[in-house]
């Protein structure tokens, strides 16, 4: 995130770095709409509990959100509700951080937007549907079968098996 537009999920945990081990704070999130890098979450609500540990700050919580997805059957944009469980240790000081782990910078700030984005994407359904009974698109003309019956006559037999059908009809 650039300096002119800091993330709304950027928090100062510096006060916990000077606190005793076991000190914790609760952060309530209630954003009607928030852009997290390249996705929009509408809304983002939940509670985070941040606790000082001997290695840094432990962040845990449950978040609830929804984001736009495309139905795999009818290709209509719809909202997918997502519940995210967040449990992450943020190391401090930065030089003591194992490779690939998150850390709190010397100024005490951490941007949770990339982590929330990643966890949200991981919780999205693999095959999102606009509704459980979605009928999809007509294989012949491409009409959305949820809106109207297109009237196409579907040949029930695979053309590759038509010769076999003729053999069965001869008997």
26-80, pLDDT tens digit by residue? 999 999 999 998 999 999 999 999 999 999 999 999 999 999 999 999 999 999 9
Looking at the predicted structure, is the pLDDT value of residue 156 above 80?
no
pLDDT per residue as tens digits for the range 67-123: 999 999 999 999 999 999 999 999 998 888 899 898 898 889 999 999 999 999 999
Cβ(63)–Cβ(116) below 8 Å = yes
| Other Cβ atoms within 10 Å of 86 Cβ, number | 16
| Other Cβ atoms within 10 Å of 130 Cβ, number | 20
Looking at the predicted structure, is the pLDDT value of residue 3 above 60?
no
Entry pTM: 0.80
- Sorted by where each begins, the domain ranges of the chain are 10-134, 137-171
Rounded alpha-carbon distances, angstroms, from residue 127 to 63, 123, 134: 22, 12, 12
Cβ(11)–Cβ(110) below 8 Å = yes
Which residues make Cβ contacts (< 8 Å) with residue 58, sequence separation at least 6? 50, 51, 87, 88, 89, 90
pLDDT per residue as tens digits for the range 4-27: 567 889 999 888 988 999 999 999
Quote the CA–CA distance of 90 and 133 in Å, as a whole number.
43
Cβ(83)–Cβ(64) below 8 Å = yes
């Amino acid at each position: 995130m650039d300096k002119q537009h800091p993330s709304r999920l950027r928090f100062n945990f510096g006060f916990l770095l000077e606190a005793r081990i076991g000190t914790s704070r609760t952060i309530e999130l209630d954003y009607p709409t928030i852009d997290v890098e390249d996705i929009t979450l509408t809304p983002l609500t939940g509670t985070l509990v941040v606790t000082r540990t001997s290695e840094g700050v432990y962040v845990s919580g449950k978040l609830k959100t929804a984001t736009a997805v495309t139905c795999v059957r009818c290709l209509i944009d719809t909202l997918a509700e997502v519940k995210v469980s967040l449990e992450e240790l943020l190391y401090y000081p930065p030089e003591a951080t194992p490779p690939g782990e998150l850390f709190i910078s010397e100024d005490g700030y951490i941007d949770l937007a990339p982590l929330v984005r990643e966890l949200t994407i991981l919780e999205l359904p693999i095959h999102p549907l606009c509704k459980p009974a979605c009928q999809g698109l007509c294989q012949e003309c491409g009409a959305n079968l949820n809106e109207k019956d297109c009237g196409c006559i579907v040949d029930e037999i695979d053309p590759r098996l038509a010769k076999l059908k003729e053999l069965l009809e001869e008997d």
